[in-house]
Amino acid sequence: MSEHLFATLRRWPDLEAPNLFAVDASDRLILDEAATELSDLQAGELVVMGDNYGALTLGAAALSGCRGIRVFQDSLVGELALTSNAGELADSYESHTLNESLLSGARLVLMQLPRSLAELDEWAQAIARFAAHDVTVIAGGRLKHMTLSMNEVLARSFNDVSAGRARQKSRTLTAVGARHPADDLRYPATSVLREPELPVDELTVSAHGGAFAGATLDLGTRFLLTFLPEMKSDAARAIDLGSGTGVLATSLAVARPKLSVVAIDQSTAAVASTRETADANGVGARVEAAREDALTERPTASADLIVCNPPFHTGATVHAGVALRMLADARRVLKPGGELWVVFNTHLGYRDYLNRTVGPTRQAGRNSKFTVTVSVRE
Ligand SMILES: C[S@@+](CC[C@H](N)C(=O)[O-])C[C@H]1O[C@@H](n2cnc3c(N)ncnc32)[C@H](O)[C@@H]1O
């Protein structure tokens, strides 16, 4: 039964390739370890967090008959994949953002461990704060992505954290005994960046746990920001594609008082962080933070300028195709004469791709690690 269900799951609209899978051994292990708890639950008592493409949610619905499942997926692409995989199980779950309505009254949380410790910390803190006092968390992942620090992070919000036995290079951690010191809210984290070489004097950054680079400045972003004065001077509408904490979008809005910026990210944590970063720097009215998959929702010929520090992984999988998929639509969305500015690790060599898919592309700069290119839509 489960193998039949799992065989039908797809990653779409995320990147699909023969070596990329919609279900892995850690999904199966989490469901197996939770089998007893799942059979005892009432409708509405199960929460699923970090489900990659729906295996946990649909597995719990199909194998244990769970209904009223509340689901939080930071990634919009994961959420769209769950919707597209759900079929006749579509009414067994509801998607939520990371807040009280996701977790209130929850007695069991199944979780794919997120990549970053800060993200795990924010999730664990939310569970301890909002779920039922006797909640059990069964969190799993692939051994190669797990560290002992994950136990320590869970132990900040739970009295008892234990590791299960490894199976097929996967393991679960079980946490019980939620505790939540009311005065210890660690997210969003904030910092104030002051970097003499950058085109803005000072930038306050707000970062939720899952946001790329946290409240620090990524080195690639830092390099791209030094080219801000060279970017299309008469631009009225810009897009920050994959906005993370909103550092690029906010810097553009601060440096150019007439510019409107749409900051796009598929991550819930990134969109919330971008909103807060823009507000904290007084440009919230000119920065729209949108949770969207790449440029799919953007109208044709609607932007004068797109800036992008693209991702190099999808979930835990490092794959060059992720960035290319994200940039694929830039030509359609740019107005004629519009510019796409991209920073990437030089060895990735995206320039030929940009030449072919967007328009004439030149190298604007290069340092020991990164290349910045500008492509012009003809
Ligand atoms: C390398 S980070 C750059 C973040 C930020 N612009 C910065 O420079 O610090 C790439 C960002 O792309 C986002 N991303 C990945 N896939 C995406 C997609 N399909 N659509 C929109 N954003 C995506 C990630 O969530 C991440 O925030």
Query: Mean pLDDT over residues 351-375, rounded?
Result: 97
Q: What is the pLDDT of residues 216-275, one digit of tens each?
A: 999 999 999 999 999 999 999 999 999 999 999 999 999 999 999 999 999 999 999 999
Specify whether the CB–CB gap between 294 and 329 falls below 8 A: yes
Q: Is the pLDDT of residue 70 over 70?
A: yes
Residue 318 has a pLDDT of 61
How far, in Å, CA of 225 to CA of 308, rounded?
11
Q: Helices in the chain by DSSP H: which ranges? A: 2-8, 25-33, 35-40, 55-64, 76-86, 100-103, 117-130, 148-157, 219-225, 247-255, 268-280, 321-327, 330-333, 351-357
Query: Which amino acid residue places its CA nearest to atom 24 of ligand 1?
Result: 242
For residue 288, the SS3 value is: strand
Query: Which amino acid residue places its CA nearest to atom 7 of ligand 1?
Result: 244
**Confidence band, pLDDT 50/70/90 cuts, at residue 316:** low
Give me the CATH topology for the region 2-178.
Rossmann fold (3.40.50)
Q: Is the pLDDT of residue 1 over 90?
A: no
Residue 317 has a pLDDT of 65
Pocket test for ligand 1, best of 267, 306, 307 (most atoms within 8 A of CB): 267
Residue 319 has a pLDDT of 67
**Confidence band, pLDDT 50/70/90 cuts, at residue 323:** confident
CA of 142 to the centre of ligand 1 (A): 23
Query: Which amino acid residue places its CA nearest to atom 14 of ligand 1?
Result: 242
pTM of the model: 0.96
Q: What is the pLDDT of residues 16-56, one digit of tens each?
A: 888 889 999 999 999 999 999 999 999 999 999 999 999 99
Q: What is the pLDDT of residues 193-215, one digit of tens each?
A: 998 878 889 999 999 999 999 99
Q: What is the pLDDT of residues 333-355, one digit of tens each?
A: 999 999 999 999 999 989 999 99
Query: Mean pLDDT over residues 184-191, rounded?
Result: 91
CA of 174 to the centre of ligand 1 (A): 31
Residue 365 has a pLDDT of 98
Q: What is the pLDDT of residues 99-143, one digit of tens each?
A: 999 999 999 999 999 999 999 999 999 999 999 999 999 999 999
Q: What is the CA radius of gyration of the chain?
A: 21
CA of 180 to the centre of ligand 1 (A): 31
CA of 119 to the centre of ligand 1 (A): 15
Distances (CA, A) of 188 to 7, 222, 265: 38, 21, 17
How far, in Å, CA of 310 to CA of 15, rounded?
14
| Binding-site residues, ligand 1, Cβ < 6 A | 77, 212-213, 218, 221, 242-245, 247-248, 264-267, 270, 293-294, 309, 311, 326
Homologous superfamily of the 189-376 domain (CATH) = Vaccinia Virus protein VP39 (3.40.50.150)
Q: What is the pLDDT of residues 294-310, one digit of tens each?
A: 999 999 999 999 999 99
Question: CATH 3.40.50.150 region(s) of the chain?
Answer: 2-178, 189-376
How far, in Å, CA of 11 to CA of 81, rounded?
6
